[in-house]
Structure 1
Amino acid sequence: MISTFDLFKIGIGPSSSHTVGPMVAAKSFRDELSPDTSRISVELFGSLAWTGFGHGTDSAICLGLLGETPVGVDPDKVVELVRQLKEFKSFIVRGERPVGFDPVQDLKFDYETLLSGHTNGMRFRAFSAAGDLLLERIAYSIGGGFVTIEGESASAPPQEPAKHVFRNGVQLLELCNRTGMRISEIQRVNEEGLRSHDEVRAGLDMVRNAMFDCIDRGLRTEGRLPGNLNVQRRAKALYEKIQISHVEKYKYPHEIMDSVSAYAIAVNEENASGGRVVTAPTNGAAGIVPAVLRYYRDFCNNYSEEGARDFLLTSAAIGGLVKMNASISGAEVGCQGEVGSAAAMAAAGLAAVLGASPYQIENAAEIALEHHLGMTCDPVGGLVQIPCIERNAFGANKAIVAASLALRGDGTHRVSLDEAIETMRQTGLDMLSKYKETSQGGLAVNVANC
């Protein structure tokens, strides 16, 4: 199974595949270094090279080599940590002698080579004082902060199989029919095969709180986003205008959706600034699930903490199906794999807490994913800003519409979630590489980035 806590990981922006994954890979390599290591080198390939500077991959590598983790690093100290490494050109491993690493000279961006395992490839090498190669690792950041190492199994350590195994939507619905359980209950039972009931409950609450904290930070923060696009943060101003409308009892009913947009924009402005976010299932789409969950809290009269947990568990079950059978990586299948997957997850979660049947939940996820098919990933300037931030607002609104449409039906529909996921996979295979998070096509080449 793919755990809820694998899909919802607390980390920092601006990208799960380009920041979180490389940090994890670099930290893992650091932990393997022998006492004989004198210096190391790092090479980045494919999408990590093409959009690495804009996505903070260079800083992520530095942080990982310094021993930082996505969940533990203080976002406010990132700049200073990287500055010190650039100044001293070395880092200390296990309190022993320093290991040489100059981020300017020893971190290479290879724009020509594409490694075989994934477009987000990294090569780490460790050398002795005599120049002998001591260790080499090739790692791939495959989306959502997940990392695989070439030559090693991508699976987790051996553990008991999930009690309720499902690998596609048909099997999930069959489980619901056979057991009489809701999707959230099935996911919870599987989670409790990995950790205790109290740990699952506390973990879900931590994810929910991190999502809401991120929204709140984004709604109170002003200024410009980093990078040369000079993008002004607007979530705070947008939300303040909405509050004025609240006092006036809403001029138009659709202004509720403006609040949802503000929530999503707030999260992705935080992400673009390198703030603390939750991969849901990626950083580039991190605003959608939190925005819809906040919509449930702020505008639905049946909100409860237990409902929020069911929302996240249901969302994770759907996200796991997408990851198992297609991809959540923009560098692999375009933005349909990020925003599309997140919208399907959010639609399923909202439908679940509003009383939908398993068939209506599956329908909600399918509707949301279907109407993101073919979406390219073409960040202007290699930054997770344009069109990424607004796409999260639209993805959140689409998710709510999808849940509402599904709730108006009886769960029967012509296109299944499995068929939509397979279509997304095939579309990603057919999509030109320049539309897969390389900033070499689409808006990235048709919009001036300076």
Structure 2
Amino acid sequence: MTAYVSVFDLFSIGIGPSSSHTVGPMRAARDFALRLRDQGLLDGVTGVNCSLYGSLGSTGIGHGTPDAIVAGLTGLTPEECAPERVRGSWVSGTIMLAGEKRLAFERDDVSFEPRTRLPGHANALTLRAFGDPGPLPLLEETYYSIGGGFIRRDGDTPTPFSSAGHPMPFDSSETLLALCETHDVSIGDVARANEIALHGEDVLNARLDLIWAAMADCVHAGLYANGILPGGLEVVRRAATVRSRLEALGDAADRDTSTEWLHAFALAVNEENASGGRVVTAPTNGAAGIIPAVGHYYLKFVPNASAAGIREYLLTANAIGSLFKSNASISGAEGGCQAEVGSACSMAAAGLCAVLGGNPHQVENAAEIAMEHHLGLTCDPVGGLVQVPCIERNAIAASTAVSAARLALHGDGTHLVSLDTVIETMRQTGIDMSQKYKETSEGGLAVNVIEC
């Protein structure tokens, strides 16, 4: 078995504001609708409802979960649907179930049960389809949105990622480094070999370029968008203002503006995410700004940066992200924000270190430094919205990623705490963390900031 997760799964093009609360529920609802169709039950359906449990019940409205449920029930996918088709769909009054059957669907058909926590995961939802006559559902399914847009249906046996088709499987940073030493390759090369075996080199390069293009489009959109973010907190977009001021300084700036640009890139992505725009899950939506921001930093401020370097950056980041996904968590509802922003920061630090010339041990060190200094980070969004402190948190974590990469390059890769150790520590910390700090908006800033 292997810890490796395909780059096309860990980096998926979708919509904001949340991979676990928007993208995952949309995929679950779509799966449910298609099961109704495939089992020949669609014609007999007279009503559908959904219950949101745990974190989904706590912060689902702020994360757009009901809209995502409705969109998924109609058959839309987060990868292909226009964001504007999702927003506001909860209040439409009707749905086209599986794209084929028109059905009444009211606001009360989505219920919120934040105090009920199902054993499979903190993010759980149950969908039911009813027909006449009788009170029992025609079909009932429970799904878990386990972070990063990944879902698992209740009753399905969780299985480790298979190493079938992977010429270089690994289950830890220790085995990953051993592969690099044995074959004299980089961490990105290990990921590349696994992807080529599954998809072929041409497809891999084309899809990596597509992922980066979507990230770049998101940065550009955020850098030129103004206004107030939705949700009622009256948060003002700042990325465009920062961009405008930095452009006005230009080459005449009397200071190094690279960090300020880095912040602008991250703000741009997370403001787009908060508005429900098109983003790339990397590895979650709440942490989606870090990897694009550090990638743009590389292209703008590192001499001889290239498209090939961006591919190496993404593949290296993906190899590190696979370790977090498989051996700990990338879900804020399961591990707090350390699992989201911490993981993304570690991935970005590793990728940047690689394209700056770091060897595999230095890359692993960069990933470890970045994660070590996010241990214990709570997920406490004000108002259940992916805005405060989430947007700024991405900008600061992008800076930490750059610092971690450059600090690791000053060493030879030898260090006391391994990446495996810090990942396991993050997992244990997530287990010990109070539930109120796991994307419930029941603790921390979420209860100490007055919503005006």
TM-score range, shorter chain: over 0.9
State the secondary structure of the residue aligned to 2:129: strand
Measured at CA, do residues 70 and 234 of structure 1 come closer, stay the same or move farther in structure 2, by a change above 3 Å? same
Partner letter of residue 442 of structure 1?
G
Identity %: 53
Secondary structure, counterpart of 2:198 in structure 1: coil
The answer to whether the 8 Å contact 2:75/2:99 transfers is no
Look up the match of 2:78.
Answer: 70
- TM superposition score normalised by structure 2: 0.95
Q: What CA distance in whole angstroms lies between the structure 1 residues aligned with 2:443 and 2:248? A: 40
The residue type paired with residue 333 of structure 1 is G
1:251-288 deviation per Cα after TM superposition (whole angstroms, max 9, x unaligned): 222x2100000000000000000000001100000000
1:268 aligns with 2:242: no
Deviations 1:294-353 (A, max 9, x none): 001111112111111010000000000011111011110100001100000000000111
Letter paired with 1:431: M
1:411 maps to a residue whose letter is: G
Q: Distance in 2 between matches of 1:366 and 1:157?
A: 23
| Matching residue within 89, 94, 101 for 2:94 | 89
Question: Offset at 1:130?
Answer: 1.1
Q: Could you say which residue in structure 1 is the equivalent of 2:348?
A: 346
Select the residue among 280, 283, 289 that pairs with 1:281. 283
Secondary structure at the aligned position of 1:55 is classed as coil
- What is the match of residue 119 of structure 1? 122
Q: Which moved more, 1:391-400 or 1:184-193?
A: 184-193
Separation in 1 of the partners of 2:24 and 2:380? 20
SS at match of 1:342: helix
Tell me by how many angstroms 1:9 deviates.
0.5
- Following TM superposition, by how much is the alpha carbon of 1:225 offset from its aligned partner in structure 2, in angstroms? 0.1
**2:318 aligned residue:** 316
What corresponds to 1:54 in structure 2?
A: 62
CA distance in 1, matches of 2:366, 2:262: 18
Unaligned stretches of 5+ in structure 2?
none
Structure 2 CA distance, aligned partners of 1:77 and 1:436? 29
Alignment counterpart, residue 239 of structure 2, candidates 230, 235, 238: 235
Q: Tell me the amino acid that sits aligned with residue 155 of structure 2.
A: G
Corresponding position: 1:200 with 2:204: yes
Please point out which of 441, 444, 450 is paired with 1:442. 444
Give the structure 1 partner of residue 403 of structure 2. Answer: 401
Q: Which residue of 2 aligns with 1:327?
A: 329
Note if 1:38 corresponds to 2:46. yes
Counterpart position of 1:223: 227
Q: Are 1:245 and 2:253 matched, yes or no?
A: no
- C-alpha displacement of 1:157: 10
1:15 aligns with 2:18: yes
AA aligned to 1:360 is Q
Q: 1:433 to 1:271 in 2, by over 3 A?
A: same
CA distance in 1, matches of 2:309, 2:233: 40
Root-mean-square deviation over aligned CA pairs: 1.5
- Secondary structure, aligned partner of 1:194: helix
User: Matched residues in 2 for 1:98 and 1:154: separation?
Assistant: 34
Deviation at 1:159, TM superposition (A): 8.0
The one-letter code sitting in structure 1 at the alignment partner of 2:376 is: G
TM-score (norm 1): 0.96
Q: 1:277-426, aligned counterparts within 5 Å? A: 277-426=279-428
Contact 1:11 1:278 in 2 (8 A): yes
User: Which amino acid is 1:89 matched to?
Assistant: T
* Contact persistence 1:51–1:383 (CA under 8 A): yes
Greater alpha carbon shift after TM alignment, 70-79 vs 351-360: 70-79
SS of the aligned residue for 2:284 comes to coil
Is the Cα contact below 8 Å between 1:17 and 1:282 reproduced in 2? yes
- Cα gap change, 1:184 to 1:88, in 2 (>3 Å): same
SS of structure 1 residue aligned to 2:208: helix
